[in-house]
Structure 1
Amino acid sequence: MSTDSGAAPEIPKTCKAGVVVNEGPDFHLKVEDVPVPSPGPNDILIKLNATGICYSDIHYMLNDLPIPKMSFFNVRSPGHEGAGTVVQLGSNVTNWKLGDRAGIKPAYDACLNCELCWTGKETYCPDSPQIGLQFPGSYQQYVLSPARYTQRIPDGVDDFTAGPIMCSGSTVYCSLKESGLKPGDWAVFPGAGGGVGHMGVQIAKAMGMRVVGVDGGADKEKLCKELGCEAFVDFTKVDDVAEEVVAICDGKGAHGVFVTATSASAYASAPMMCRISGKVMCIGLPPSGTAMAGADPLLFVGKNLHVIGTKVGSMYDTMKALEFAARGQLKPIYEVFPLAKMPEAVDKLKKGIVAGRLVVDFNS
């Protein structure tokens, strides 16, 4: 392995990892020792300092999406929001140095040689596998990443901030970009107090949009207003959430509704929140078969509505989201768990009792 940037750090034989046990509806997570992988010629080995905990990880462990199981790929550790440093280089790697700061995103790689990759849609590339599903993910402290598709972390963005941005921040930035909303437009976020939603609130505010948060409880309301929501609708107190949103948005409705929640009710009410030519942006992933993004076609025709789905952002999108953080305009709200309590963090997210994001500190 190349070590031309100085003395190479000592690489252990094993490392700690959160691994899924009894994959499926009754899964649980445990922390155990796993082998540290060795990089191939075009890979880098990253020692993670932090990983975010994303609900997509819960989906993978529950096995409630219409995709192959983690175990089909012999993967036991999910996770796709890692941040750390490069500790080993593959023999062909020349664009990274030991000690460089690096991030792990949901997309593990892409072919970089097709129309989708050339147009910034590489996360839709058929040769873009998912880390934490098809490859061991960021619940494992030492992870491999293709050198050509590893995200650089800029100065001024710490690992606990960068980790969640790798997925949540990138995802919601991409959706805001693809919505085409302009400064002064109304952007509504069902699930505004959650891991993706609270970052969307901040980025939309930084882009000059007027932001409305939809979520439940006083804690979520306080968080959303502190982060930039002009108004907040508490679905536990309001009988008709869509009607309330429309009234707030000039009595006409939202220009864009960014559904970061995963409930059927959030998707069902989103079209009703829109004004003429409004856009429903589908972000949150409900369990397969539990929700529909749509309404009576008469509503779509009568209001010229658009429904658009977006995945995690490209490398460029992730870079732009990180730039918001570097400028101080995006500050993920997170609760830190030590590595030994990773199972508790996963259980807390599984139960849906999280405001903001959960982040695991591998060094505590």
Structure 2
Amino acid sequence: MANNSNNDIPKTCKAGVVVNEGPDFKLAVEDVPVPEPGPDDVLIKLNATGICYSDIHYMLNDLPIPPMSTFGVKSPGHEGAGVVVKIGSNVKNWKVGDRAGIKPAYDACFNCELCWTGKETYCDDSPQIGLQYPGSYQQYLLSPARYTQRIPEGVDDFSAGPIMCSGSTIYCSLKESGLKPGDWAVFPGAGGGVGHMGVQLAKAMGMRVVGVDGGDDKKDLCMKLGCEAFVDFTKVKDVAEEVVKICDGKGAHGVFVTATSAAAYSSAPMMCRIGGRIMCVGLPPAGTAFAGADPLLMVGKNLHVIGTKVGSLYDTTKALEFAARGQLKPIYEVFPLAKMPEAVDKLRSGKVAGRLVVDFDS
């Protein structure tokens, strides 16, 4: 079955479209044309998309990058899951009906050192979907066949969507941290979309996990997902001191900053033991936070500051394997397509434990 009968594919589809890009943006659900795959593309019909705070950054236009409108893109989104409904004339490795996912990086050149060493998300030719190409807020969208993510059996679309970004991103950070089983891993922002997956993955990798976040809802979630201890920043005066106390009185081997606040970044070095790693994951608005500390502290504690971006094709595959084995279960709240604008507003207000996912079929 090389091609789909075009009768099944509509001419238009629903999409969450940004209106008035910038600080006063709104999201509206509109009809947009269904794209036609080029020779090397697949056309995917999404069943679900996660809503990520990076989407909000793109719509707010508060990162030091060109806005979506520069590229003529109106729909953000980069964590979709669905099925292939049409394939380009050159595509041999996909067939109609295969389950497929969309991740933050749209493609890569596969012809440079970064691509050859599994760092293809840093490649100069690795554009972002939902910024430079229409993203997963649009139900039917294109993806280069060579960079489309396969979704294994046993992982449903509502779980697979958020793993494409959050799960893959934090898997990559855990891998690059070099932490070993039995090491202390601390997650500021542990109850958030990225953090709550990090807690599960770190536990599955044999680490001892401490969650840092605010409120009883987040505490309950974190303890249920495998934290050994939880520090509530709304109740504890010196969060770093409490973290050090929990981690043998010496501090964490790794602090995975998934929160986006200046406070989360400034307290991370204080949470670390000698030789500790500060893993930078959360993206604060440009110029609002600083990663690291006074050089005297950095030297005195042999601290490492490591930034990691979204996961590679390999990282995403690995994160999905944890999910297929039941060791990674994204916590999510489902919104019907018509309520996508409400989901975006809810995430923007910061009142979300876990992840918000939009169901295109409801």
Q: Which category describes the TM-score, using the shorter chain as reference length?
A: over 0.9
- Matched residue SS, 1:165: helix
Match for residue 333 of structure 2?
335
Match for residue 353 of structure 2?
355
Match for residue 182 of structure 1?
180
Match for residue 61 of structure 2?
63
**2:231 aligned with 1:233:** yes
- Matched residue SS, 2:8: coil
Contact 2:4 2:85 in 1 (8 A): no
Contact 1:264 1:292 in 2 (8 A): yes
- Matched residue SS, 1:322: helix
Select the residue among 198, 201, 213 that pairs with 1:200.
198
Contact 1:9 1:87 in 2 (8 A): no
TM-score (norm 2): 0.99
Map Cα deviations across residues 67-88 of structure 1 (whole Å, 9 max, x no partner): 0000000000000000000000
Map Cα deviations across residues 318-355 of structure 1 (whole Å, 9 max, x no partner): 00000000000000000000000000000000000000
Could you tell me how far apart the structure 2 residues matched to 1:326 and 1:191 are? 25
Contact 1:8 1:98 in 2 (8 A): no
Could you tell me how far apart the structure 2 residues matched to 1:9 and 1:118 are? 40
Residue identity opposite 1:243 in structure 2: E
Contact 1:189 1:258 in 2 (8 A): yes
Assess, with a 3 A threshold, how the Cα gap between structure 1 residues 4 and 186 changes in structure 2: closer, same or farther. Answer: same
Match for residue 141 of structure 1?
139
Could you tell me how far apart the structure 2 residues matched to 1:181 and 1:317 are? 16
Could you tell me how far apart the structure 2 residues matched to 1:6 and 1:258 are? 44
Q: What pairs up with 1:1-364 in 2 under 5 angstroms?
A: 3-4=1-2, 10-364=8-362
- Matched residue SS, 1:308: strand
Could you tell me how far apart the structure 2 residues matched to 1:360 and 1:225 are? 26
Could you tell me how far apart the structure 1 residues matched to 2:158 and 2:3 are? 26
- Matched residue SS, 2:338: helix
Could you tell me how far apart the structure 1 residues matched to 2:16 and 2:283 are? 23
- Number of residues paired by the alignment? 362
Map Cα deviations across residues 89-139 of structure 1 (whole Å, 9 max, x no partner): 001111100000000000000000100000000000000000000000000
Could you tell me how far apart the structure 2 residues matched to 1:84 and 1:289 are? 37
Could you tell me how far apart the structure 1 residues matched to 2:2 and 2:40 are? 16
Could you tell me how far apart the structure 2 residues matched to 1:259 and 1:63 are? 22
Could you tell me how far apart the structure 1 residues matched to 2:41 and 2:4 are? 19
Could you tell me how far apart the structure 2 residues matched to 1:9 and 1:81 are? 27
Could you tell me how far apart the structure 2 residues matched to 1:9 and 1:167 are? 33
Could you tell me how far apart the structure 2 residues matched to 1:148 and 1:5 are? 17
Contact 1:31 1:342 in 2 (8 A): yes
Structure 2 gap ranges (5+): none
Map Cα deviations across residues 237-281 of structure 1 (whole Å, 9 max, x no partner): 000000000000000000000000000000000000000000000
Contact 2:4 2:86 in 1 (8 A): no
Assess, with a 3 A threshold, how the Cα gap between structure 1 residues 14 and 154 changes in structure 2: closer, same or farther. Answer: same
Residue identity opposite 1:161 in structure 2: S
Map Cα deviations across residues 188-208 of structure 1 (whole Å, 9 max, x no partner): 000000000000000000000
Contact 1:120 1:314 in 2 (8 A): yes
- Matched residue SS, 2:306: strand
CA apart distance, 1:294? 1.3
Map Cα deviations across residues 163-190 of structure 1 (whole Å, 9 max, x no partner): 0000000000000000000000000000
Could you tell me how far apart the structure 2 residues matched to 1:81 and 1:137 are? 8
TM-score (norm 1): 0.99
CA apart distance, 1:4? 2.6
Could you tell me how far apart the structure 1 residues matched to 2:30 and 2:17 are? 7
Could you tell me how far apart the structure 2 residues matched to 1:92 and 1:4 are? 10
Query: How big is the alpha-carbon RMSD for the aligned residues of Structure 1 and Structure 2?
Result: 0.8
